[in-house]
Structure 1
Amino acid sequence: MSTQLKLDNRYGRTRDRRSRRIAIASAGVVGAALLALVAWTTVSSALGSVDTDATGFEVVDEHEVVVSFQVSGAADKPLACALEAQDTEHGVVGWRIVEYPADGGLRRAFTETIPTTALATNGLVTSCWIP
């Protein structure tokens, strides 16, 4: 027996082919499971997401702003949206949370009035979510 072979045996640097195959197969199974987990979390979060598009606003007077917007991605689920009115310095001068019942449409359009405490220069949808 050579010196290198004795050292390899002494310090456990040799492996038989069967244990190496088991290690490679185990690593493949763990990798496939992690890939499946990442794919599932990506798909499940995309299914529960809500997308909003502001379509316009109208400043009626110093006491109210009308906001129009569309919501997509929440078919057959109730919605809640946070609306906001801002002044020239982007300070919040009015806000409102509105809730909508479930509807079968994939894309829905809404128009809401936001009461304000001062003259607003814009109205917007801060966010929408599925409660």
Structure 2
Amino acid sequence: MTTQALLDDRYGRTRSPRRRILGWTIVAVLALSAIGYLGWTTFASSAASVTATDTGFTVENDKSVSATFQITGPTGQPVACALEARDEDHGTVGWRVVEYPASEDHTRAFTETIPTLSLATTGFVNACWVP
């Protein structure tokens, strides 16, 4: 044994195997807890998210446009969507918020009319959410 090892052993500066195992156990528990927490928050936020896919639009006249779209969201919860109509200069000329009741269908298709102030060139879903 070296002089340093003898001194460490004499004054108790060496780590016992039990203490080393306890330290690694604490590190493992903290790491697994962090992974579990991150996994749960990722799942919880994605389970309540709503996605919308525009499938088409029809300019009815200079005062309205119809937007056709599908929404995919959580089952058993109501969904609200903001619909928007824009003109050729990309200015907003119409806006409407629609609310849909809870359904057991995961994906649903809708066609909604958006009232406009002037002639629109497009109609689409701006955003959807669970109210």
Q: TM-score, normalised by structure 1?
A: 0.88
Q: Distance in 2 between matches of 1:104 and 1:8?
A: 68
Q: Distance in 1 between matches of 2:69 and 2:24?
A: 53
Report deviation, 1:8: 4.8
Report deviation, 1:109: 1.0
Listed as ranges, the gaps of 5+ residues in structure 2 are: none
Instruction: Give per-residue Cα distances to partners, 1:76-118, cap 9 Å, x unaligned.
Output: 2111000000111211111000111112212111111111112
Secondary structure of the equivalent of 1:35?
helix
Q: Which residue number corresponds to residue 84 of structure 1? A: 84
Q: Which residue number corresponds to residue 107 of structure 1? A: 107
Q: Which residue number corresponds to residue 122 of structure 2? A: 122
Report deviation, 1:34: 0.7
Report deviation, 1:6: 6.7
Q: Distance in 1 between matches of 2:111 and 2:17?
A: 69
**Which aligned pairs between 1:1-131 and structure 2 lie closer than 5 A?**
3-5=3-5, 8=8, 14-131=14-131
Secondary structure of the equivalent of 2:27?
helix
Instruction: Give per-residue Cα distances to partners, 1:7-36, cap 9 Å, x unaligned.
Output: 757x98632222111110100011111111
State how many pairs are aligned.
131
Q: Percent identity?
A: 48
Q: Distance in 1 between matches of 2:126 and 2:66?
A: 14
Listed as ranges, the gaps of 5+ residues in structure 1 are: none
Report deviation, 1:38: 1.1
Given the superposition, is the C-alpha separation of residues 73 and 2 from structure 1 closer, same or farther in structure 2, using an over 3 Å criterion? same
Secondary structure of the equivalent of 1:27?
helix
Given the superposition, is the C-alpha separation of residues 81 and 12 from structure 1 closer, same or farther in structure 2, using an over 3 Å criterion? farther
Q: TM-score, normalised by structure 2?
A: 0.88
Secondary structure of the equivalent of 2:45?
helix
Q: Which aligned segments of 4 or more residues in structure 1 are displaced greater than 6 angstroms? A: none
Given the superposition, is the C-alpha separation of residues 115 and 13 from structure 1 closer, same or farther in structure 2, using an over 3 Å criterion? farther
Give the root-mean-square deviation of aligned CA atoms.
2.1
